[in-house]
A and B are shown apart, each in its own frame.
Chain A
Amino acid sequence: MAQEIDRERVRRLMEQGAQIVDVLPAREYGEEHLPGAINLPLRQIETEAASMLDPTRAIVVYCWDSA
């Protein structure tokens, strides 16, 4: 189960080279996303995650908000 973190922890993980994953639709990702984030929309996670993400590095996922 994923560990819930706040933005300060996100910033520290970014500095340590974590993979930042934006699960919003491509259009919203293109408009604005966290620095260095890659786009992996929710509906594609199961099929694409293995090929797009490095399992040896930390992974941080985010959406628009907690809803």
Chain B
Amino acid sequence: MYDYRMGKQDWMGAGLPTEGTDTERPRLADVVRRDVPTCSLGERLGDVRNRVTAAGWDACVVVSQDRVVLGLLRARELQADPGLPVERAMRPGPSTYRPFVSVAEMRRTMTDRGLESSPVTTSDGKLVGLVRRTDLGTADADPEAGEP
């Protein structure tokens, strides 16, 4: 007998497949951008900005060696002094969301908090990708929009 102690929230938090009636609802795992650029604390901001821009992005997630999210560089932070280390320029400890959160709920959250983008992570804080408000569509087009 085995006990999967971390349970269903850990499984869903890792973006692994599930079965059931709720699996039909659009969720962050369906829209998250897994190709978001990443960088480390000690990198030079100017180098990161050049790499991010060349990749067609305006945001970058700061991660540890094992991809735990440490901070976020949005357009505003990326425009700071290029000689700064990422650690001093980044927005530390951003709010993160799990892959199983519904798109409708995330849209409401991002609107309420004025967020343009947020990291999506597993339950142990490892980066899955970045969700952007523009990728969530509009409430008018979402049949789940009125649900809590």
Residues of A within 8 A of B (CB): 2-7, 9-11, 13, 18, 22, 24, 29-37, 58-66
Contacts and interface: CB of A to CB of B under 8 A. Distances in A.
Nearest to A1: B1
Interface of B: 1-12, 14, 16-23, 100
A9 B2 contact: yes
Pick the 4 closest A-B CB pairs, nearest first: A2-B3, A32-B20, A62-B4, A31-B22
Contacts of A33: 8, 18-20
Contacts of A64: 7-9
B20 A58 contact: no
Given A7-B11, A7-B14, A34-B11, A65 B21 contact: no
Nearest to B10: A7
A18 B1 CA distance: 10
A63 B3 CA distance: 9
